[in-house]
Amino acid sequence: MRTPFVAANWKMNKTLPEALNFLQAIAGKLPNQAEVEALICAQSLFLSQMMAVTKDEPIKIGAENVFWHDQGAFTGETSPKAVASLGVDYVIIGHSERRKYFRETDEMVNNKVQAVLRNGMRAIICVDETMGQREANEKVHWVVSQVIEALKGVAIEDADKITIAYEPSWAIGAAAASAKEAEDGCYLIRQTVADMFSDEAADQVRVLYGGSVKPSNQAELMAMPNIDGVLVGDASLNPDIFLQLVNYQQK
Ligand code: 13P
Asked whether the CA dihedral 82, 87, 89, 90 is positive or negative, the reply is: negative
Report d(CA 151, CA 220) in Å as an integer: 29
Atom in ligand 1 nearest the alpha carbon of residue 92: 10
Q: Identify the DSSP state of 2.
A: P
What's residue 138's pLDDT?
Answer: 59
Atom in ligand 1 nearest the alpha carbon of residue 236: 2
Closest by Cα among 131, 117, 114 to 169: 131
What's residue 142's pLDDT?
Answer: 80
Closest by Cα among 146, 226, 138 to 190: 226
Q: List all residues 6 or more positions away from 38 whose beta carbon is below 8 Å from its beta carbon.
A: 6, 7, 30, 31, 58, 59, 60, 246
How close is the Cα of 170 to the center of ligand 1, in Å?
11
Q: How remote is the C-alpha of 150 from its chain's centroid?
A: 14
How close is the Cα of 172 to the center of ligand 1, in Å?
5
Report d(CA 146, CA 143) in Å as an integer: 5
Report d(CA 214, CA 155) in Å as an integer: 35
The answer to whether the CB of 9 is under 6 A from ligand 1 is: yes
- Under 8 Å between Cβ of 35 and 8: no
What CATH number should be reported for the domain holding residue 226?
Answer: 3.20.20.70
What's residue 140's pLDDT?
Answer: 62
Closest by Cα among 219, 185, 230 to 5: 230
What's residue 130's pLDDT?
Answer: 74
Q: Taking the model in full, what pTM does it have? A: 0.96
Task: Tally the domains of the chain.
Answer: 1
How many CB atoms within 10 Å of residue 3? 12
| Mean pLDDT for back-to-back runs of 10 residues, the chain (251 residues) | 96 98 98 96 97 98 98 98 98 96 97 98 93 68 91 95 94 88 95 96 96 96 98 98 94 66
Tell me which residue range forms the domain holding 91.
5-250
